[in-house]
Chain A
Amino acid sequence: MRDALWMMLAVTLAAAAALAQDKVIAVTAERFKFTPAVIELKLGEPVVLELTTLDRKHGFQIPDLKIDESIEPGKVTRLRIVPDKAGTFPFHCDVFCGSGHEEMAGEIVVKP
């Protein structure tokens, strides 16, 4: 039990250390857009996306990467991404947020 606790602590510290070094990109969500709508990443360079909302609850889904997060008012959703393949990965809001919700999308472009 005590060992398990130490293990967990170690993992948490490692994660925090990784987060501390990673480049941070702030992404805001609002009806009906993301800013920036195009997020450029470099292959193999980990980043942390800090997702916040300016108005109501939105979603942040990247189906190709099996990522599905919520962005709640007053909270920061941190998402660590290690781009391991080049290409374009569309994301969109998957919390229906009104007339215009269908346009609320963007893409992550991973450059080699």
Chain B
Amino acid sequence: MNDPKGRREFLQLLGLGGVVFASGLAGACSKILRKSAGPEDDFFFVQLSDTHWGFKGPPNPEAANTLRQAVQAVNALPIQPDFVVFTGDLTHTTDDDAERRKRMREFKAIVADLKTPVRRYMPGEHDASLDQGKAFEEQFGATRYSFDHKGIHFAVIDNVSDPQAALGDKQLDWLHADLKPLPAEAPIVVFTHRPLFDLAPQWDWATKDGSKAIDLLQQWKNVTVFYGHIHQEHHFRTGAIAHHAARSLIFPLPAPLSQPKRAPVPWDPMHPRRGLGFREIGVDESRLVLTLKEDSLEGAPTAQPAAAIGSF
């Protein structure tokens, strides 16, 4: 963990915005990353985000199929990830509590086809803001939690169950208590839905008390945050902390404040699924070098036709 070479590489990567794009075919990176299956070896996990199951509309005429297609694309990776994490907005919002639960059940049934048995979930505002996370908790469990995996501490934090996008002092206290036992050099990965920093408050691309979380996380030297919400790839640093937003699996959104309205990027029939994709995150032996690879759904083979949904 204190290997100076690994640490230097890590800093070099961060100097580039914390991103390395492996060239070549989808999955090439995972092949390089995982030489054998020992617990001390490198490993990788996959981030899927903003699947918005239940969405209907012109921004994605294939919406009934895109989630299945993503599942098939992950299953087609030459090596399967250690786990798959969904960073929120699993479902598209609805005013109807029964319909919300139905969408969550359908979502679960579709992702049950992932070959990777380990899945981590967290809500987005579409899943949780209208009922303060009640349906999500019933269907998926806690909205904030932490776990350890092969020497990395992972913390999932919830900035959506409060409809005003705050973490709240109670949760911040919990996060502090959760991280407190860790040494300052410990590798920490945070998953959340909204950006913790003020990316574009005008577009709700911020967390009201996110700066409190950042101040807290700043006490550790190797923190990386993965989030969703903004439906596009984005990389940013606050001090030593790297923040990476993932693409969505429903429709892309325009670059922050690049146009007056935060309207979806229109579907392009010439380039179906352009801007939709998921991310592979490789972790090296030192646990300090994270390698990000973006996989696109554009050009992916069309998914199997939707199975009868009514039977859930």
In the bound complex, residues from chain A placing their C-beta under 8 Å from that of B203 are: 92
Supposing A94-B164, A94-B165 touch, asked if A99 and B202 sit within 8 A by C-beta, the answer is no
The chain B residue with its CB closest to the CB of A70 is B164
Indicate which residue in A61, A92, A95 contacts B163 across the interface (CB closer than 8 Å). Answer: A95
**In the complex, what residues of A have CB within 8 A of residue B165's CB?**
94, 96
Q: Are A96 and B129 also in contact (CB < 8 A) when A59-B164, A61-B201, A90-B202 are?
A: yes
Q: Is the CB of B202 within 8 A of A98?
A: no
Asked whether A102 and B164 contact (CB < 8 A) given A96-B129, A96-B130, the answer is: no
The secondary-structure label for the interface of chain B is loop
Q: Please tell me if the beta carbons of B202 and A92 are within 8 angstroms of each other in the complex.
A: yes
- Kindly list chain A residues whose C-beta atoms are within 8 Å of the C-beta of B93: 96, 98-99, 101
**Bound CA–CA A64/B201 (angstroms):** 9
Contacts of B125 in A (CB 8 A): 96
**Secondary structure class of chain A's binding surface, majority of residues:** mixed
Tell whether, in the assembled complex, residue B204 and residue A92 are in contact, meaning their CB atoms are under 8 Å apart.
Answer: yes
In this complex, how many residues of chain B approach chain A with their Cβ under 8 Å: the count is 20
Most chain A beta-carbon neighbours within 10 Å: one of B126, B165, B204: B204
Does any Cβ of A come within 8 Å of B134's Cβ? no
- Type the 1/0 row for B155-198, where 1 means its CB is closer than 8 Å to any CB of A: 00000100111000000000000000000000000000000000
Residues of A within 8 A of B92 (CB): 99
Question: How far is it, in angstroms, between the C-alpha of A64 and the C-alpha of B202 when the chains are bound?
Answer: 8
* A58-101 at interface with B (beta carbon < 8 Å): 59, 61, 63-64, 70, 90, 92, 94-99, 101
List the B residue with the shortest CB-CB distance to A96.
Answer: B129
List residues of chain A with CB within 8 A of the CB of B263.
103
- B296 interface contact, C-beta 8 A: no
Q: Which residues of chain B have C-beta atoms less than 8 A from A102's C-beta?
A: 204, 262
Q: 0/1 per residue, B89-100, Cβ < 8 Å to A?
A: 000111100000
Report which of B95, B164, B260, B261 forms a contact with A95, defined as CB distance below 8 A: B164
CB of A99 within 8 A of CB of B94, answer yes
In the complex, residue of chain A having the shortest beta-carbon distance to the beta carbon of B204: A94
Q: Hey, which bits of chain A sit against chain B, CB under 8 A? A: 57, 59, 61, 63-64, 70, 90, 92, 94-99, 101-103, 105
21 contacts across the A-B interface (CB closer than 8 A): A57-B163, A59-B164, A61-B201, A63-B201, A90-B202, A92-B203, A94-B164, A94-B165, A96-B125, A96-B129, A96-B163, A96-B164, A96-B165, A97-B130, A98-B130, A99-B92, A99-B93, A99-B94, A99-B95, A102-B262, A103-B263
